[in-house]
Amino acid sequence: MFALHPQLKQDTIHIGEFELCNVLLMNDVRYPWIILVPKRENKTEIYQLTESEQQRLLNESSFLSHVMSTLFSADKMNIAALGNMVEQLHIHHIARFKTDVTWPKPVWGVGQAEPYSEIAKKAMMSQLTHALGEYLI
């Protein structure tokens, strides 16, 4: 049975679900950062998904990237499946800006996460659920 890794559960805010993936907001106000987690147990790599699941993941990731790029007017979308710290398969989608604190370097290992305030969290969740619209189930 699928269960979200405890670290992902601790570090994120649940937005909703796509057909294949849980959609999670990283609790770090410094970056618009969403993580897709395929709802499949014991998967650590994309190639472990069936061919149709791989295609679904690509479709969901591409849709999310387009929405985030447009919604936040990102200079670049960083998309990564690292899994070095959390082995459960998950795909990071981070809207990057030439003005952000780590540009052009990666966001990992720089500074401390700054959690959303309740007001900022509600505003971000409202923006995202509206933008993701009918794709959320």
Q: Which residues pair with 22 in a beta bridge?
A: 17, 37
DSSP string, 2-18: ----HHHHHHEEEEEE-
Assign 86 a pLDDT band (cuts: 50, 70, 90).
very high
**Separation of alpha carbons 93 and 21, rounded Å:** 13
State the pTM of this model: 0.96
Token pair 């796509």: residue: 18
pLDDT at 26 over 90: yes
pLDDT of res. 108: 87
Average pLDDT over residues 83-89: 93
**Separation of alpha carbons 107 and 110, rounded Å:** 6
pLDDT at 92 over 90: yes
Residue 71: enclosing H or E segment and its boundaries? helix 51-72
How confident is the model over 35-48, as pLDDT tens digits? Answer: 999 999 999 999 99
AA identity, residue 16: G
pLDDT of res. 109: 83
How confident is the model over 105-125, as pLDDT tens digits? Answer: 999 888 899 999 999 999 999
Among the listed residues 12, 57, 20, the one whose alpha carbon sits nearest the alpha carbon of residue 39? 20
pLDDT at 31 over 90: yes
Among the listed residues 55, 120, 121, 132, the one whose alpha carbon sits nearest the alpha carbon of residue 93? 132
How confident is the model over 63-78, as pLDDT tens digits? Answer: 999 999 999 999 999 9
Among the listed residues 55, 61, 59, the one whose alpha carbon sits nearest the alpha carbon of residue 37? 61
